[in-house]
Structure 1
Amino acid sequence: MSQCPRDHSIMSSSVVQRMPRLLFLLLLLLPSPDAVMTSSPLTSRRSRVPNASACLQAATPDGGLTVRCSGLRLTQVPVGLSNHTTRLFLNKNLISSLPVGCFSHLLLLDELDLSHNMLSSLQAGCFSSLSSSLRYLDLSSNRLSALDPAVFVGLQVQANLTHNPWHCDCSMQLSMPQLNLDLSSLSEVVCRTSDLPNLGAVGLSLVLLLEDWDLCRSVRRTTDVLTLVTMFLWFVMLLSYFIYYIRQNQGVARRHFDYLKFLQSRDPFNNSRPF
């Protein structure tokens, strides 16, 4: 009867001795956390470049292709677009930039819709390959504030530039005559902000601003006025310091003058006596 508890204690001690070895084997069989994170479908979906296969495609009567990628929350132009694409709709996405050459293979593209995205600036050359085919460009409802003529070099398109926070200043006014855009593209472009808002440029159409306003002259005039005011203030400060310096040293100068008079009065060779 006393042997059973002894056997039980022996078995328990052997299990305890084998526990570290069992734990080590279990750790070897379990997958590493890095492998689990790497194989996560969410991570792979985020790192994947958007493909044109997710877009709706339809053939046109002239043998072209209409591709609609609207509302897919794309962050960049999808890859794999057909060379026969003539109409491309990328509106209502999250595209914030257009790299140079992103449309280089779409030599037949006639219409491009990039409205309702997050474009805040355009790189020069992003539309360079579309100069011979593109006729309509929609950039409305983005975050564009300035127009760079280098972006539209060679393009002769009708562009929709409305509903952007355009900043009307001297550089904008100088760049407008260099654009090859249709004038109707600028008729509804409204200045959201300006360097000189008190002049009434905010809320005006860009075409009216070009015809009736000269923001560059206004800027130069304002700069000249500021320069004159600065020079006047500098002169007043210099004059004030000069007057302050004289008043502060007037007492010292008076004491020196009195001392010189005192020395002159005590000079025995300075006393004149009649012969």
Structure 2
Amino acid sequence: WPMLWFCSQALFFLLFCVPSYCTSCPEQCQCTNYSEATAVLCSASNLQEIPRDIPKDTMFLKLDANKITAVPNSTFRHLAHLQEIDLSKNAIEKIDSAAFKGVADGLRLLDLSGNHIQRIPKEALVNLNAMIRLSNNPWHCECTLQEVLWEVKLDPDSVNETTCQTSVQEEYTGKPLLHILDSRFCNMHQKTTDVAMFVTMFSWFTLVISYVVYYVRHNQEDTRKHLEYLKSLPSTRVPKETIS
């Protein structure tokens, strides 16, 4: 009887359990619950992409030390309770502009350290309130990255390990990203844009003036030739003697 009762209860749970108690754990991951906080642990699980069946009540998500190469748009959109995302020590090269859409308000920590990230869209991070770790990535320092750094909260413990592997200005190669916050990347970009616009406008202005001058001179020449032609015509006036 006890075994029969146990089997019947298990069958009832599988068929009719409340959804909040029936959340499944992604394959190759471990899910734990402590004080109503769900943690999904997928560290070093040989994952090549972020699992799609992460429980909706997840608060802590560990995806470090895998082979993940990208963070697509809206990957975490159904995880409204997320507070920490650890994506460190992967092979991430691409992060889409809406990768963290849906978790902006509650997220407290985002770890992207130890990946292959050279560039990141400004839109991917600017709305996050989280502390962000960007260290040990091959960053390409340029105006766009400077704009990102102005908007985000960098983890102070890892900021000195966040450096420029390459740069639009050679003197910043190998330097911490903080050094480009006071640099003139964006100012130089703006000046370059202004100069290019000025040159373009000046070229068009010169072209228009040249056309007007050509048009006026051409008409003057035609007018002069027409007057000379009229002067060359024989006079049609009748002599006074003939009239009398």
Query: TM-score range with shorter-chain normalisation?
Result: 0.5 to 0.7
Query: Distance in 2 between the 1:108 and 1:190 partners?
Result: 32
2:31 matched to which residue of 1? 57
Pair 1:128–1:221, CA change in 2 (3 A): closer
Calculate percent identity across the aligned residue pairs.
Answer: 30
For 1:120-269, what aligned pairs fall within 5 Å after superposition? 120-177=93-150, 179-182=151-154, 184=156, 186-197=159-170, 200-211=171-182, 213-217=183-187
Q: Which 4+ runs in 1 deviate beyond 6 A? A: 219-224
Instruction: Spell out, residue by residue over 1:70-115, the C-alpha distance to the aligned partner (whole angstroms, 9 max, x if none).
Output: 1111111113211121111111111111222221111111110001
1:244 matched to which residue of 2? none
Partner AA of 2:30 in structure 1: L
SS of the residue corresponding to residue 209 of structure 1 reads helix
Pair 1:174–1:131, CA change in 2 (3 A): closer
Higher relative contact order (CA 8 A, sep 6+): 2
Q: Is the 8 A contact 2:93 2:118 kept in 1?
A: yes
Query: Distance in 2 between the 1:218 and 1:136 partners?
Result: 33
Tell me how far 1:187 sits from its aligned partner. 4.7
Instruction: Spell out, residue by residue over 1:180-238, the C-alpha distance to the aligned partner (whole angstroms, 9 max, x if none).
Output: 324636454211111221xx211211112212x213455688999xxxxxxxxxxxxxx
Q: Is the 8 A contact 1:145 1:166 kept in 2?
A: yes
Q: Which has the larger radius of gyration?
A: 1
- Structure 2 unaligned residues grouped into runs of 5+: 1-24, 195-244
2:49 matched to which residue of 1? 76
Q: Is the 8 A contact 2:59 2:83 kept in 1?
A: yes
Q: Is the 8 A contact 1:165 1:191 kept in 2?
A: yes
Instruction: Spell out, residue by residue over 1:214-265, the C-alpha distance to the aligned partner (whole angstroms, 9 max, x if none).
Output: 13455688999xxxxxxxxxxxxxxxxxxxxxxxxxxxxxxxxxxxxxxxxx
Q: Is the 8 A contact 2:132 2:152 kept in 1?
A: no
Query: Distance in 1 between the 2:87 and 2:134 partners?
Result: 10
TM-score under structure 1 normalisation?
0.56
Q: Is the 8 A contact 1:112 1:136 kept in 2?
A: yes
Count of aligned pairs: 170
1:93 matched to which residue of 2? 66
Query: Distance in 2 between the 1:120 and 1:64 partners?
Result: 31
Which structure shows the higher helix fraction? Answer: 1
- Structure 1 unaligned residues grouped into runs of 5+: 1-50, 225-275
Aligned-residue RMSD, C-alpha: 2.5
Which structure shows the higher strand fraction? Answer: 2
Tell me how far 1:153 sits from its aligned partner. 3.4
